[in-house]
Chains A and B, each alone.
Chain A
Amino acid sequence: MINFQYLRTTTSKSALNLISKDKNSKFLAGGTNLIDLMKRGVTSPEKLIDINHVPLKQIEAVGDQIIIGALASNTAVAEHALIKEKLPLLAMALNAGASAQLRNVATVGGNMMQRTRCGYFYDTEMPCNKRQPGSGCGAIGGFNRMHAIFGTSDQCIAVHPSDMCIALVALDATVVLSNAKGERKVLFKDFHRLPGDTPQLDNNLKADEMIVRLEIPNNNLNKNSYYLKVRDRASYAFALVSVGAALELSDNKIKDVRLAMGGVAHKPWRLTAAENFLKGKEASAENFEQAAKLAMTDAKGFGENNFKLQMAPNSIIEALTVAKSKA
């Protein structure tokens, strides 16, 4: 690993002051993705600003929202009684991600900031428009079994690997960002980006900003929620396809529904058209099938990942069916 300057801070004010001084500096939270990327030589910041001691670890209900600090660990969130009761989809998604060791140090903000990536991004000998803009995409026409089927561009077909983010985009979370001047709020669905012509940018966080907290509105989706993760081994692997599904049922009628998919796009993929179709309808197998079909409009395979075109709708149906069956 190329050496770097290390600074530690205990307040967000000083953290923001430090980050604004140096363009090639980065915040260090759990470090589980950043340190890995630095070891591989994919990124090499000159300065790391350790923000682990900044007090942003709260998990609490405030008014009609649940607030989660950016530095709360993935384990702390997943094991928190409030989250298990009110946002079980988030707890399930977190527990489906990474390993117990990684979840203990990985933070909520860091999970959001982990790079959208693929094997070509990690291999510095290979072309990758995300790592080195203009160098080409190794995955298009290459090994692309793990890659995206939605929202791709001719520059990048990598996927954002987070499970947590799938639940958060489904739950209508808001991200609160801060810089020296103040705070701004971004809807979770607008935080991450599609690759377009700027695949080097994974999200809309500005260089002088930090994530401070999430605000998640209360909902009535907690009874019938399910996170389905389909992967190559039973645990500790990235999703081939994952689906976060949450239903608010009245008898068998769908009052509200949330659907989002992972492993299929450069950003957490919300299935708005499928949701709109299901709202007000019976929670029936036929309607689930129809919704899954709708969700796949515009899907495009790249060869090795063509199996996802079938796996994705099947997973949507399965996730909805399990969510519905929960007592």
Chain B
Amino acid sequence: MQSSDQKPNQGGSRRDFLKKSSIITAIALTPTVAVKAAENQADERFAELFEKIPLNLTVNNKAYKTAVEPRVTLLDYLREELHLTGTKKGCDHGQCGACTVHVDGERVNSCLSLAVMNEGKKITTIEGLANGEELHPMQAAFIKYDGFQCGYCTPGQIMSAVACVSEGHTSSRSEISEYMSGNICRCGAYPNIVDAIVEVSKGGMKA
């Protein structure tokens, strides 16, 4: 929480260091020289830059013990590592909601969360919503009310809709619209999405 982006790097920064010495190759070829160079010029960052961070998390009730680079988002981890491609990458900047998943029961944009920030958390994706072959009531309601056209935003819409109901923000159609505003549908299926949410909010969400 500070604002000093604009200050140029002082002294031997990590990137300067990598730029001026191709130390990665060097280490492989001449260990002693390179290690000495690393000792002299680089600090602990050199070792940690490429280090993957251990990560334990539960996704759709399955525990994963793994390690990821710090820059991997939860979205990319789910899609690229776990191959759970139901969660969609839309804008990748928190503006469209296609990447919405539940973290410890709360809806979040997985594109703006680093995987490593989710240590010990329980993640639910669209793949984890159904009970075997039995659809979650929200999934069934989206089909019943035609809550989609192309379907790209739908996993995010459904995850957000489930949270919207459990949060209790369904007292009126306008309240539903307000609390679903983080999910954009370019096909414009909004009225049907609201229909589906209204039905589920009245009937309860028990599968």
Contact = CB atoms under 8 A, between A and B. Distances in A.
A201 B3 contact: yes
Interface string B98-136: 001000001111001110110100000000000000000
Contact of A29 (B1, B107, B163, B181): B1
Interface in A31-66: 31-32, 35-36, 38-40, 42-43, 45-48, 50, 52
Given A35-B114, A100-B164, A205-B2, A5 B71 contact: no
Contact of B1 (A26, A36, A235): A26
Contacts of A40: 93
A248 B179 CA distance: 30
Given A1-B71, A29-B1, A109-B1, A200 B108 contact: no
A195 B182 CA distance: 31
Given A3-B71, A48-B70, A206-B2, A99 B116 contact: no
A132 B5 CA distance: 9
Nearest to B73: A35
A113 B3 CA distance: 8
A2 B160 contact: no
Nearest to A4: B70
A210 B69 contact: no
Contact of A100 (B3, B9, B107, B116): B107
A17 interface: no
A223 interface: no
Contact of A235 (B114, B116, B181): B181
Interface residues on A, range: 35 or more
A24 B9 contact: yes
B195 interface: no
Contacts of A131: 5-6
A102 B70 contact: no
Contacts of A236: 181-182
Interface string A4-31: 1110100000000001000110111101
Given A1-B71, A46-B45, A132-B6, A39 B109 contact: no
Given A104-B108, A236-B182, A39 B92 contact: yes
Contact of B117 (A28, A47, A113, A203): A28
Interface in A191-223: 200-203, 205-207, 209-211
B14 A46 contact: yes
Contacts of B58: none
A323 interface: no
Contact of A207 (B4, B93, B97, B179): B4
Interface of A: 1-6, 8, 19, 23-24, 26-29, 31-32, 35-36, 38-40, 42-43, 45-48, 50, 52, 75, 98-102, 104-105, 109-110, 113, 115, 130-133, 200-203, 205-207, 209-211, 234-236
Interface of B: 1-7, 9-10, 13-15, 45, 48-50, 53, 69-71, 73, 92-94, 97, 100, 106-109, 112-114, 116-117, 119, 160, 163-164, 167, 169, 177-183
